[in-house]
Chains A and B, each alone.
Chain A
Amino acid sequence: MPEHILLRHRDIPDIDQLDVYLEHDGFKAFESVVRETNPEEVIETVKASGLRGRGGAGFPTGVKWGFLTPGVFPRYVVANADESEPGTFKDREILERNPYQFLEGVAICAYAAQANVAYVYCRGEFWDLAHELERKIEALYDRGLLGEDLFGSDYHLRIYVHIGAGAYICGEETALLESLEGKLGQPRLRPPFPAAKGLFGKPTVVNNVETLTNLPPIINRGAEWYRSIGTERSTGPKVFCLSGHVERPGNYELPLGTTFRELIFEHGGGIRGGKKIKGILPAGASAPLLPATDEVLDTPMDYESVPKVGSQLGSASVIVLDESVDIAWMAYKTASFFKHESCGKCTPCREGTYWMYQILKRIPEGRFRNTDIDLLNSVAHGMQGKCLCALGEFSIMPVISAIEHFRPDFEAHTGDER
């Protein structure tokens, strides 16, 4: 069995206990950056590692840090623990089972950003783990691993947990910042980006939980080691969330570039009940559906290869659909999700998600008409490229791709048309 770099609790079950984490080189990376390196060097190391944001966008992490407006303080770091993409459940496992590695990642990021305050924005549903995380943070103050004069330096850091209240849109970084400021979680017009004007108008880094959890091993073992995992442009390990019609759903930590086939059939044990695979949503509800052809199954799951077959890697939340799934019903489910989660700020998204849902609702109600297929396409294309954030864009992808690849599934509902 290869070692786990992110899901380290799979190898060391008690690593959620601070003593155990410290015995396994815990906080060695944070201590070494504070004692021995300056923030710029940390940023250079992370750039050199090739680490890309694991929340979905895949933007190079070190480059993002490098955008912080020089000379403006205070700065903030915000960990995005608002995990709510359908099919995504990796951050929750990290936060529950390997919390100290995540917190050490937050600390390293804060040092690199020269921030003295970091917030962990946890979705409200993560109530229990958020409260547990607060206790873990307390334990770090008690040991002198957070707080004032860290490791004999003048660097100080406090980490606070902030609990959200149920809104998918708050996973979008500017909506998250609005929400953290106590407002409606609605995306901001960009620029300015958070690196210039983020939390409370100050330069801010927002990074996903999994992204931050990569930092301690990168510091401990070096950028070159990290680059030896994964592909040339998609470096490092990734936690793939496998759900839907597989024998063994769950999180699987594998190098970026592992094929869909290996994930689904080797690690996931294949399709439940010996059925045939029909389609794959590689990034939850937020990317085009792929028909499960041999070409798709043999595609490496990395930031470059998945777009080549017509979808996105996103947060790598792989939802597997077997032959029994009515793809028109799937489109109804994703439309229902986005209609509920649209924040209402941009008219094309607010109205478009509503109308796509109204049309697709005719499927379970038995009122779907032949003309509805073209109507759906027309509504979807009318939204494309017209919204502030990606939610509106995401919402049309499963619908358009479902019609493109599985039109007969929609036509099957139009039999009663009069």
Chain B
Amino acid sequence: MLATKYKKEIDRILEKYPPEEKRAAVLPLLYLAQKEYGCVTEAAVREVADLLDLDPTQVGGLIGFYTLLHGKPEGKIRIQICTDLSCALRGAEEFAEKICENLGIKLGETTEDGMITVEGVKCLACCDKAPMFQVQDAEGIHYYENQTVESAMEIIEALRKGDRNA
């Protein structure tokens, strides 16, 4: 249960907003749910709704709207490559294609071991350091800039082995 396991963290989050406006805490709580369960499960939606006195639909509706919230488990590690205009001008589409090729998947798919999902995403405000990607996992989100296919594959393999400092 989020309410017991993360009590301190939840209190710290709720403190930021006026007591009568605690709905504002829904995104931070959904991140906690994602950390705990790997994705925002239906049960997690109800837990968060209970914590904030909301209807589950008010919480569940957010999942499809915000790209960093995930309703399905997919890969433990999400490699989110920016393939938007500025990055594409500097080779990001070919970069993404090669990463996928190396992993034996297509963009949007997950490796057979359930570890890695590769996604093409919109601008990450890092256009001058393309190709680049961010990694989203249970712990958070981290940027990797000025990448080559080789350097990216090294990072992905290290992450696969659980080395988050790669």
Interface residues of A (CB under 8 A from B): 83-89, 91-92, 119, 123-128, 131, 160, 162-168, 179-185, 200, 241-245, 249-251, 281, 284-285, 317, 319, 321, 325, 330, 333-334, 337, 340-341, 343
- Does B155 sit at the interface, judged by CB under 8 A? no
Q: Are A319 and B85 in contact (CB under 8 A)?
A: yes
Q: Are A87 and B28 in contact (CB under 8 A)?
A: no
The contact of A124 among B25, B68, B85, B130, by CB within 8 Å, is: B68
Q: Given the complex, which residues of B lie within 8 Å of A124, measured CB to CB?
A: 27, 31, 66, 68, 141
Q: Given the complex, which residues of A lie within 8 Å of B18, measured CB to CB?
A: 200
Q: In the complex, how many angstroms separate the beta carbon of A41 from the nearest chain B beta carbon?
A: 29
Q: Are A167 and B125 in contact (CB under 8 A)?
A: no
28 A-B residue pairings within 8 Å (CB atoms): A86-B127, A88-B123, A92-B125, A119-B16, A124-B31, A125-B68, A125-B124, A160-B16, A165-B27, A166-B66, A166-B67, A182-B24, A182-B25, A182-B26, A182-B54, A182-B58, A185-B66, A242-B128, A243-B127, A243-B128, A245-B89, A250-B128, A285-B85, A319-B127, A334-B85, A337-B122, A337-B123, A343-B65
Q: In the complex, how many angstroms separate the beta carbon of B138 from the nearest chain A beta carbon?
A: 12
How far apart sit A87 and B61, CA to CA, in the bound complex (Å)? 30
| Chain A residue, CB-CB nearest to B127 | A243
Q: Which one of A166, A245, A321 has the greatest number of beta carbons of chain B within 10 Å?
A: A166
| Chain A residue, CB-CB nearest to B54 | A182
Q: Given the complex, which residues of B lie within 8 Å of A92, measured CB to CB?
A: 125-126
- Does B134 sit at the interface, judged by CB under 8 A? yes
Q: Given the complex, which residues of B lie within 8 Å of A337, measured CB to CB?
A: 84-85, 122-123
Q: Given the complex, which residues of B lie within 8 Å of A91, measured CB to CB?
A: 125
Q: In the complex, how many angstroms separate the beta carbon of B17 from the nearest chain A beta carbon?
A: 8
- Does B162 sit at the interface, judged by CB under 8 A? no
The contact of B65 among A180, A184, A245, by CB within 8 Å, is: A184
How far apart sit A125 and B156, CA to CA, in the bound complex (Å)? 19
Q: Are B67 and A165 in contact (CB under 8 A)?
A: yes
Q: In the complex, how many angstroms separate the beta carbon of A257 from the nearest chain B beta carbon?
A: 23
Q: In the complex, how many angstroms separate the beta carbon of B72 from the nearest chain A beta carbon?
A: 16
Q: Given A84-B123, A200-B21 in contact, is the A244-B140 Cβ separation under 8 Å?
A: no
Q: In the complex, how many angstroms separate the beta carbon of B143 from the nearest chain A beta carbon?
A: 7
Q: Given the complex, which residues of A lie within 8 Å of B21, measured CB to CB?
A: 181, 200
Q: Given A163-B28, A166-B68, A319-B86 in contact, is the A341-B143 Cβ separation under 8 Å?
A: no
How far apart sit A125 and B123, CA to CA, in the bound complex (Å)? 10
The contact of B27 among A88, A164, A249, A330, by CB within 8 Å, is: A164
- Does B44 sit at the interface, judged by CB under 8 A? no
Within B111-141, which residues are at the interface with A (CB < 8 Å)?
A: 122-130, 134, 140-141
| Chain B residue, CB-CB nearest to A341 | B122
The contact of B142 among A84, A119, A128, A343, by CB within 8 Å, is: A128
Q: Given the complex, which residues of B lie within 8 Å of A131, measured CB to CB?
A: 140
Q: Given the complex, which residues of B lie within 8 Å of A343, measured CB to CB?
A: 65
Q: Given the complex, which residues of A lie within 8 Å of B27, measured CB to CB?
A: 124, 162-165, 179, 182
Q: Are B69 and A165 in contact (CB under 8 A)?
A: yes
Q: In the complex, how many angstroms separate the beta carbon of B68 from the nearest chain A beta carbon?
A: 4
How far apart sit A184 and B27, CA to CA, in the bound complex (Å)? 10
Q: Given A167-B67, A182-B23 in contact, is the A333-B88 Cβ separation under 8 Å?
A: yes
- Does B39 sit at the interface, judged by CB under 8 A? no
How far apart sit A125 and B85, CA to CA, in the bound complex (Å)? 18
Q: Given the complex, which residues of A lie within 8 Å of B69, measured CB to CB?
A: 165-166
How far apart sit A10 and B18, CA to CA, in the bound complex (Å)? 39
